[in-house]
């Protein structure tokens, strides 16, 4: 915002009073500061001017007061403004589409010094370093600011906030799963003179971007897409390769399907696009691919993504592939590749965000695409594909307008090069028989059903391997082979067990396991591939608040946690934080926890802000990094 005073008739102004306290309260920025004027777009504010030589005379003096503000990000709904600008805590959804877990997060956009850190982040951007005058002139544009912030949250092109790391080993920093909030990350970046903080992954990038954008007054929310496509060559096809045991192989193209991926949506008008494409815009700070030579993504209109308008700015084609690419599976054997199946509905599921003023989850998949299998969805896919072909991407026509088949979490069945899916002869399905908890054996069954009128003899290769949440495969640690005979219309169930002792040493920090089954008929070339992603569950931390929470008065809480393993764990550290409740992260060294043991600690703090607050807690050890818990607390104003 720019303020200009034009004085006439010889008036001499000596001081201006910006009425910081009154204005900031009216503009809901009092939690940031009372020491300077911080106002929001599209709302009146008052100032007082004092003159040196004489008083102001209405009949002869004239003052012109000019303010220049942009109103590109105005939300009419007050509940939406409260959620997407004012709320300083929330949930980020993780896990997999069969087990969606809310992860509590402290955004803390109004915490001490965060506004200064956000402004410093803009000053350190590549744009500001190259042409500071132009950068300053463009800061009134929400499109421009969002692209700058998207680039600065990661450190790939500059000294941005976070170093990303998706492989194992975080000993020289903090494991992404350990973070509870953005405040500690931003303050660490600022305190070290802008050195990138180690480490982040997609949900951390998105959460920190949410903090910065809400602090700057731009309505922002965090979005999780389960089974998220990463299409590296822009043909709207994700190719996955398997060996004859069903093990997923390292992808030569680097295409992957992330078990979940997290990005942001920001609300803004888009005067640079045709009418109707304003509103929620996708922005992704995770450094996946470059945009105009820089690792950032968006803003891409969510409506443009749904409608297949992939030529519209910015990065809409890449965003479309994350939610609606096709997935083709290939069997690799003897130096050859055989196409197994083309899935038209496996990418982009249960797209989720926190509900407005509620702890519930909202499913917003319909904002991004029409219902899978519907003519409208197929039309938008073909429209997007045709728009991309002139760019030099290879033509890859849709295989079928029919669903891939009801075989399991992703189905399974044979498919020719461009032929429609034939009727399924055998149905295979993997199913857990009880919840999968870290530290316990994994019990599941392979269900088989002969849909054909002929006898079937099957050989089924089963395997299990650890996965990173970005879809990267790790070691296979369990294999088995089953020979199953099925009479016409006969069903059989094969019980399977993976002992904890067999998977414990192979787990990734994401605690995700992919179980697969590759079936083949005797005397036939037909093969059936199915898989199931399992995220091992952990017990939650329990937080009990003892007594009423009042600003300025001592508040006591009890934090209860458990070692879920049948073995001793060491290097245990409990981290607790919460905006308005703790001035900084509260860390307690626990040390050793005996097998299956419970423990508790008592923590005292003095709340310094009223209203709805949230306590976030995390327990890490040398065997796990992210046992989490939270507790909402309503803090009453002090006397």
What is the rounded CA–CA span in Å between residue 283 and residue 299? 5
What is the rounded CA–CA span in Å between residue 155 and residue 615? 29
- Judge whether 12 is annotated as a binding position: no
What is the rounded CA–CA span in Å between residue 634 and residue 106? 15
**String of DSSP letters for 49-118:** EEESSS---TTT--EEEEEE---TT--S-HHHHIIIII--EEEEEEEETTEEEEEEEE--TTSTTHHHHH
- Judge whether 135 is annotated as a binding position: no
State phi, psi for 252 to the nearest 5 degrees.
-65, -35
Catalytic residue list contains 261: yes
- Judge whether 251 is annotated as a binding position: no
Catalytic residue among 261, 297, 341, 510: 261
What is the rounded CA–CA span in Å between residue 531 and residue 529? 7
The CB density around residue 478, as the number of other CB atoms within 10 Å, is 18
- Direct distance between the N- and C-terminal alpha carbons of the chain, in angstroms, rounded to an integer: 36
CA angle (245, 423, 332) in 5-degree steps: 25
CA angle (273, 279, 281) in 5-degree steps: 75
Question: Please, are residues 122 and 219 in contact by the beta-carbon 8 Å criterion?
Answer: no
Catalytic residue among 135, 255, 284, 470: 284
What are the angstrom distances between the C-alpha of 399 and each of 279, 327, 377?
34, 11, 14
Maximum pairwise Cα distance, the chain: 105
Helix (H) or strand (E) holding 143: helix 142-153
What is the rounded CA–CA span in Å between residue 132 and residue 143? 17
- Judge whether 377 is annotated as a binding position: yes
Catalytic residue among 118, 202, 327, 572: 202
**String of DSSP letters for 404-443:** --SSSSS------SSPPPPPPSEEEEEEESS--BTTS-EE
Catalytic residue list contains 202: yes
The CB density around residue 199, as the number of other CB atoms within 10 Å, is 21
Annotated binding site: 324, 326, 372, 377
Tell me the catalytic residues. 202, 261, 284
Annotated binding site for Ca(2+): 324, 326, 372, 377
């Amino acid at each position: 915002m720019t303020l200009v005073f034009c004085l006439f008739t010889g008036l001499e102004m000596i001081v201006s009073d910006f009425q910081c306290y009154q204005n900031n309260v009216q503009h809901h920025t009092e939690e940031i500061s009372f020491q300077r004027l911080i106002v929001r777009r599209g709302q009146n504010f008052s100032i007082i001017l004092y003159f040196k030589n004489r008083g102001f005379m209405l009949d002869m003096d004239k003052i012109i007061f000019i303010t220049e503000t942009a109103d590109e990000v105005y939300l009419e709904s007050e509940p939406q403004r409260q959620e997407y600008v004012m709320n300083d805590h929330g949930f980020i959804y993780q896990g997999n589409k069969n087990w969606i877990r809310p992860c509590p997060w402290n955004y803390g956009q109004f915490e001490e010094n965060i506004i200064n850190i956000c402004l410093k982040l803009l000053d350190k951007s590549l744009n500001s370093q190259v042409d500071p005058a132009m950068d300053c002139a463009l800061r009134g544009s929400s499109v421009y600011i969002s692209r700058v912030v998207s680039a600065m949250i990661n450190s790939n092109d500059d000294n941005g906030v976070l170093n990303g790391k998706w492989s194992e080993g975080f000993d020289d920093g903090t494991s992404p799963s350990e973070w509870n909030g953005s405040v500690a990350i931003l303050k660490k970046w600022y305190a070290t003179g802008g050195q990138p903080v180690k480490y982040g992954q997609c949900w951390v990038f998105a959460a920190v971007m949410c903090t910065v954008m809400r602090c700057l007054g731009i309505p922002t929310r965090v979005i999780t897409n389960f089974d998220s496509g990463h299409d590296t060559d822009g043909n709207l096809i994700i190719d996955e390769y398997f060996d004859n045991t069903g093990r997923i192989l390292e992808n030569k193209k680097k295409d992957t399907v992330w078990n979940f991926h997290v990005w942001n949506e920001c609300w803004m008008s888009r005067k640079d696009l045709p009418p109707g494409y304003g509103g929620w815009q996708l922005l992704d700070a995770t450094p996946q691919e470059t945009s105009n030579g820089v690792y950032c993504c968006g803003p891409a209109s969510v409506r443009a993504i749904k409608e297949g308008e992939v030529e519209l700015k910015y990065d809409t084609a890449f965003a479309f592939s994350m939610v609606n690419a096709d997935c083709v599976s290939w069997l690799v054997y003897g130096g050859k590749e055989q196409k197994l199946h083309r899935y038209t509905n496996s990418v982009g599921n249960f797209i989720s965000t926190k509900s407005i003023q509620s702890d519930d989850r909202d499913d917003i998949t319909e904002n991004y695409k029409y219902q899978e299998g519907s003519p409208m969805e197929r039309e938008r896919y073909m429209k997007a594909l045709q728009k991309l072909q002139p760019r030099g991407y290879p033509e890859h026509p849709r295989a079928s307008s029919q669903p891939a088949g009801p075989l399991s979490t992703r189905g399974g069945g044979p498919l020719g090069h461009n032929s429609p899916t034939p009727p399924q002869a055998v149905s295979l399905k993997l199913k857990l028989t009880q919840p999968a908890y870290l530290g316990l054996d994994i019990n599941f069954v392979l269900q088989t059903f002969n849909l054909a009128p002929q006898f079937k003899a099957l050989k089924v290769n089963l395997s299990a391997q650890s996965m990173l949440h970005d879809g990267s495969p790790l070691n296979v640690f369990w294999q088995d082979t089953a020979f199953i005979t099925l009479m016409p219309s006969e069903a059989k169930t094969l019980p399977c067990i993976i002992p904890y002792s067999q998977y414990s040493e192979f787990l990734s920090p994401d605690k995700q396991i992919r179980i697969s089954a590759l079936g083949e008929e005797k005397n036939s070339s037909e093969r059936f591939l199915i898989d199931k992603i399992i995220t091992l569950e952990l017990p939650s931390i329990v937080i009990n608040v003892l007594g009423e929470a009042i600003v300025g008065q001592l508040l006591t809480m009890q934090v209860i946690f458990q070692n879920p393993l049948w073995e001793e764990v060491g290097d245990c550290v409990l981290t607790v934080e919460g905006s308005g409740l703790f001035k900084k992260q509260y860390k307690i060294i626990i040390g050793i926890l005996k097998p299956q043991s419970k423990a508790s600690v008592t923590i005292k703090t003095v709340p310094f802000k009223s209203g709805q607050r949230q306590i976030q807690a995390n327990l890490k050890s040398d065997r796990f990094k992210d046992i989490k818990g939270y507790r909402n607390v309503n803090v009453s104003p002090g006397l």
